[in-house]
Amino acid sequence: MPGASDQPLSGLTALVTGAARGIGRGCALELARGGADVAVVDVQHADEAAGIVEEIEQLGRRAAFWQADAGDRDRMRRVVQEGVERFGRLDVAVANAGVSVRQEFLDITPEGLETTLRPTMYGVLWTLQAAGRQMAQQEPRPGRESRGKLIAIASIHAEHPFKRSGSYNMAKAGVAHLLMTAAAELAESKINVNVIHPGWIDTPGERQHATEAELAEAAQKLPWKRLGRPEEIGRAVAFLAGPGGDFISGSVLRVDAAQIVSLAPD
C-alpha cells in the first residue's frame, strides 16, 4: 500500500464518465492510485465497470458504479447528487465519455452526428455543469483554495481536421472552447477548469476501426513509434487533480508525444 506522501489525492472524491474501459479506465485507476475515491460512470460495459470498482477497492479506496448516459442532463444531475450522498462531496470531475461515428463530410447523417455529439459534447456539458454546481456550493478543503477540479478529455482532433472525423472533430473543438468559457466564468468561485488533448491512444474503441496489424503499422508512423496508453492520460488527469494543478485553470494540456507538431511540413 502506498504511503501518504505517495498519495497527493488522499481524501478526495472523483467522478469519471466512460470509466469502464479505455481512457476513462486509465483515469479512474490513476486517480485511485493517487488516493481518491472514485464514482465510476458508464452507460455500457457494466461487467467491466464492476471490475474497475473492484480494482479501486483493492487499492484501498472507495468506489461505486453508476450506469448512466452522460448525454442525459437529468440523469447526470442525479448521479452527482447520489455520489455526494455516498462519498460526502465531489472534488474532481472528469468528463471522458465519447463516441466517434466516422463518415465522410458529404455523407454525415443526422443519426451519425447525434450519436457522436450526445456523449462527446453534450455529455461533457451536462457532466461538468452538474459537478460545477455542486463544487460552487461547497467550501474548499482545509488548506486548499480550490473548491474543485473540472477536467474534460477532448482530443488533438480539436486542433487538427483529421479526415472522415468531421462530427468528432466538431465535438472536440466545441468541448475545448466550452471549457475555456467555463474556466473564465468559474474563476471567481475558485473552480479549476482544464482540458486534456490526448493523441492517438491504444483503447478498445480503436479496434472498431482497425485491425491489430493496421494499428501496429500506423503506430510506426507516429513520432514515438507507438500509441499512447490510457494510464498516461490518467497520470495527466491526476496531476491536474492534485496540488500541482491548484493554480492551473483555463489551460489545454496536450498529451500526444509530439503527434500534432510533427504533422507540420518540413
How many CA atoms lie within 13 Å of 227's alpha carbon, on the beta-carbon side? 20
Evaluate whether 75 touches 140 at the Cβ level (below 8 Å): no
Using CA atoms in the order 187, 9, 24, 139, what is the torsion angle rounded to 10 degrees? -40
Helix, strand or coil, per DSSP, at residue 37:
strand
Each residue's pLDDT expressed in tens, for the chain with a length of 266 residues: 444 457 999 999 999 999 999 999 999 999 999 999 999 999 999 999 999 999 999 999 999 999 999 999 999 999 999 999 999 999 999 999 999 999 999 999 999 999 999 999 999 999 999 999 999 999 999 999 999 999 999 999 999 999 999 999 999 999 999 999 999 999 999 999 999 999 999 998 777 778 899 999 999 999 999 999 999 999 999 999 999 999 999 999 999 999 999 998 87
CA separation, residue 33 to residues 61, 95, 148, 207, 228 (Å): 8, 19, 19, 27, 19
What amino acid occupies position 13? T
Global pTM reads 0.96
User: β-strands 191-198, 148-153: how paired?
Assistant: parallel
- The number of folded domains in the chain is 1
- Work out the angle between the directed axes of helices 22-33 and 46-58 (0-180°, nearest 10): 20
CATH code of the domain containing 255: 3.40.50.720
Residues that are catalytic: 155, 168, 172
- Cell readout for 219 is 503506430
Show the domain range for 106.
4-263
| Long-range contacts of 157-163, Cβ-Cβ distance < 8 Å, separation of 24 or more | 158/197, 159/197, 159/254, 159/260, 160/260, 160/263
C-alpha cell at 133: 454546481
Instruction: Tell me the helix, strand and coil percentages in the chain, rounded to 5.
Output: 50, 15, 35
How far, rounded to the nearest angstrom, does the alpha carbon of residue 180 sit from its chain's CA centroid? Answer: 16
